[in-house]
């Protein structure tokens, strides 16, 4: 049974505007649904990377290298905070997806209400604390003195924007939980486009606007995220989404102990996953820096390529989590297994094909980051020859982790990543450096990826994730199962 794009008028909308229905991820061909669901998420990830590159270019060309150093230091903190928010938003995404899969509209609203309150309090608390602690944060990071003034200005505006950025991330994840990844992509596109356009206008003070310097770059982020967030909320109300609360439902904006426990105890391990990866990246960078500026430049150029190679796997990992969670909620564990198998095939193909293309035209691609004739070019090509293929098992591991998280099993993927990075990859470098030199660094990457895949795959096959629960069964879900889904289930 294929879902239609619209549904009959709902009493929740006063019988005026029929709610728009998101794609149903619990019925229909798994491969087609997963691919269609993943592509907008991949596009959103790509947009965010391009946005960061464009903003860095504006700051560098208009304000100089010191300003670029200031934004780089401030953005390190921003990415850390957004990574923590991602874990919490992902927990809300899984709760919503399971409720949607179960056909429990009242439970979707319950989760949306409690999560909205939680994110409102959290984002404003973090933003306020950041405004107060900005000087201490920059001192602790060792921000260069000549960049510290600009960094403080930039970071304070970013902290003012943080509540809107947190909410933007939360609403996008919630919409993906309902099965809609296309709409968040469109609003991401709008936010990125507006951010890029506003950067030079606010930095230079074009037209009637005053020149804001580096604060203008941060203000562009604030305005673009706020405008996109407002647009998404209006869209959700106009389309009758179950994610928004209407008259008589405002009581759902209250602390719900079961939901808050799930957001914290399931979300924090996913946030810790980001911290484990970021911390290991810092350690690896210190190893690389020990071989001089030419090797460091080659590594930096190679990393630019890696950022794009791993995007399909990261988008697929998030997509299989949402899709598997809906099927867990619908009681379709057979489809969960199919989602996992399909995701693994997609991860292998969508990672291996770009890697093969990069190997074919590698000098051209690296030429975007390294000048012609650079001594770093052969080093970068040597690094990629050893490292790039390791992103294939990395992608497979992301799929296994994404599927098991859908049931609420979040500790095992965190442990697998911790072991592969901090027990295998990092100790491997000093242990083998006397024999391999710098190659010990490069070989540690595929070794870590293979370890992650083996551990994540072993837990997928033999672990107890199938019996895990995000939280106790929904109070409001009884008797709300979608009859259309029940009728369609045997046909798959």
The whole-number pLDDT of residue 2 equals 36
3-state secondary structure of 20: strand
Is the backbone of residue 440 left (phi > 0), alpha (psi -120 to 50) or beta? alpha
If you write DSSP's letter for every residue of 374-385 in order, what string do you get? Answer: -THHHHHHHHHH
If you write DSSP's letter for every residue of 52-114 in order, what string do you get? Answer: HHHHHHHHHHHH-HHHHHHHHHHHHHHHHHHHHHHHHHHHHHHHHHHHHHTT-HHHHHHHHHH
Q: Please choose, from the candidates 132, 136, 140, 139, the residue with its C-alpha nearest in 3D space to the C-alpha of residue 156.
A: 132
**Maximum Cα–Cα distance across the chain:** 74
**CA 160 to CA 127: how far, in whole Å?**
6
Q: What is the dihedral of CA 170, 172, 178, 183, to 10 degrees?
A: 160
**CA 175 to CA 186: how far, in whole Å?**
12
The whole-number pLDDT of residue 69 equals 67
Spatial contact of 137 and 77, defined as CB atoms under 8 Å apart = yes
If you write DSSP's letter for every residue of 160-180 in order, what string do you get? Answer: HHHHHHHHHHHHHHHHHHTT-
Helices (H), 406-464: 411-418, 426-436, 439-462
- Residues facing 20 on adjacent strands: 6
Determine how many CB atoms are found less than 10 A away from the CB of residue 164: 21
Residues sharing a CB contact under 8 Å with residue 11, sequence separation 6 or more, in sequence order: none
The whole-number pLDDT of residue 411 equals 92
Spatial contact of 468 and 411, defined as CB atoms under 8 Å apart = no
Q: Write out the two tokens for 453.
A: 């895949």
DSSP letter for 424, please.
I
The whole-number pLDDT of residue 481 equals 43
The residue with tokens 């008589």 is 248
Query: Helix 333-360 crosses helix 391-405 at what angle (to 10 degrees)?
Result: 160
The whole-number pLDDT of residue 489 equals 42
Q: Please choose, from the candidates 202, 220, 94, the residue with its C-alpha nearest in 3D space to the C-alpha of residue 164.
A: 220
Q: Please choose, from the candidates 403, 89, 469, the residue with its C-alpha nearest in 3D space to the C-alpha of residue 267.
A: 89
Spatial contact of 242 and 109, defined as CB atoms under 8 Å apart = yes
pLDDT in tens, the chain (492 residues): 333 333 334 444 444 444 555 667 888 899 999 999 999 998 988 888 777 777 777 777 787 766 766 776 677 677 777 777 778 888 888 889 888 888 888 888 888 888 888 888 888 888 888 888 888 877 776 677 777 788 888 888 888 888 888 888 889 989 998 888 999 999 999 998 998 899 889 988 887 878 888 888 889 988 998 999 999 999 999 988 888 888 777 777 888 888 888 888 888 888 888 788 877 887 887 888 888 878 888 887 888 788 888 889 999 999 999 999 999 988 888 899 999 999 999 999 999 999 999 989 888 888 877 777 888 889 989 999 999 999 999 999 999 999 999 998 999 999 999 999 999 999 999 999 999 999 999 999 999 999 999 999 999 999 999 888 876 654 443 344 444 444 444 334
pTM reported for the whole predicted model: 0.79
The whole-number pLDDT of residue 347 equals 95
**CA 21 to CA 484: how far, in whole Å?**
13
The residue with tokens 């294939």 is 392
């Amino acid at each position: 049974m294929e879902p239609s794009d619209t549904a009959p008028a709902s009493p929740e909308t006063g019988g005026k505007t029929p709610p728009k229905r998101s794609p149903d991820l619990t019925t229909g061909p798994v491969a087609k649904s997963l691919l269609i669901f993943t592509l907008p998420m991949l596009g959103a990830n790509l947009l965010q990377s391009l946005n960061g590159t464009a903003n860095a270019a504006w700051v560098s060309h208009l304000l100089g290298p010191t300003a670029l150093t200031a934004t780089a230091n401030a953005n390190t903190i921003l990415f850390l905070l957004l990574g923590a928010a991602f874990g919490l938003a992902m927990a809300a995404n899984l709760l919503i997806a399971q409720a949607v899969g179960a056909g429990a509209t009242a439970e979707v609203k319950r989760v949306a209400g409690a999560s909205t309150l939680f994110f409102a309090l959290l984002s404003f608390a973090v933003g306020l604390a950041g405004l107060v602690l900005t000087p201490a944060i920059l001192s602790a990071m060792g921000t260069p003195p000549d960049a510290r003034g600009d960094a403080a200005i930039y970071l304070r505006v970013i902290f003012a924007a943080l509540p809107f950025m947190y909410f933007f991330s939360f609403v996008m994840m919630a919409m993906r939980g309902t099965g809609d990844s296309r709409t968040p992509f469109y609003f991401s596109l709008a936010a990125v486009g507006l951010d890029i356009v506003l950067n030079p206008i606010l930095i230079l003070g074009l037209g009637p606007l005053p020149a804001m310097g580096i604060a203008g770059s941060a203000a562009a982020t604030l305005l673009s995220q706020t405008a996109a967030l407002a647009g998404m909320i209006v869209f959700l109300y106009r389309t009758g989404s179950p994610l928004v609360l209407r008259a008589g439902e405002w009581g759902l904006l209250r602390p719900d102990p079961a939901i808050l426990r799930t957001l914290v105890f399931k979300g924090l391990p996913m946030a810790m996953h980001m911290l484990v990866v970021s911390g290991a990246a810092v350690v690896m960078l210190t190893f690389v820096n020990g071989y001089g500026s030419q090797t460091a430049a080659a590594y930096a150029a190679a990393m630019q390529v890696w950022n794009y190679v791993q995007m399909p796997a990261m988008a697929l990992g998030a997509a299989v989590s949402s899709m598997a969670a809906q099927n867990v909620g619908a009681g379709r564990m057979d489809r969960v297994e199919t989602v996992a198998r399909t995701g693994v095939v997609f991860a292998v193909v969508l990672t291996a094909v770009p890697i093969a293309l990069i190997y074919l035209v590698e000098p051209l691609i690296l030429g975007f980051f390294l000048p012609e004739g650079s001594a770093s070019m052969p080093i970068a090509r040597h690094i990629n020859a050893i490292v790039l293929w390791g992103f294939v098992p990395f992608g497979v591991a992301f799929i296994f982790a994404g599927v098991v998280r859908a049931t609420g099993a979040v500790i095992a993927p965190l442990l697998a990543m911790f072991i592969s990075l901090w027990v295998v990859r990092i100790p491997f470098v000093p242990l083998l450096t006397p024999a391999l030199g710098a190659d010990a660094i490069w070989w540690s990457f595929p070794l870590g990826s293979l370890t992650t895949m083996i551990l994540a795959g072993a837990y997928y096959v033999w672990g107890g994730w199938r019996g895990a629960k995000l939280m106790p069964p929904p109070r409001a879900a009884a008797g709300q199962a979608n009859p259309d889904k029940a009728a369609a289930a045997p046909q798959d």
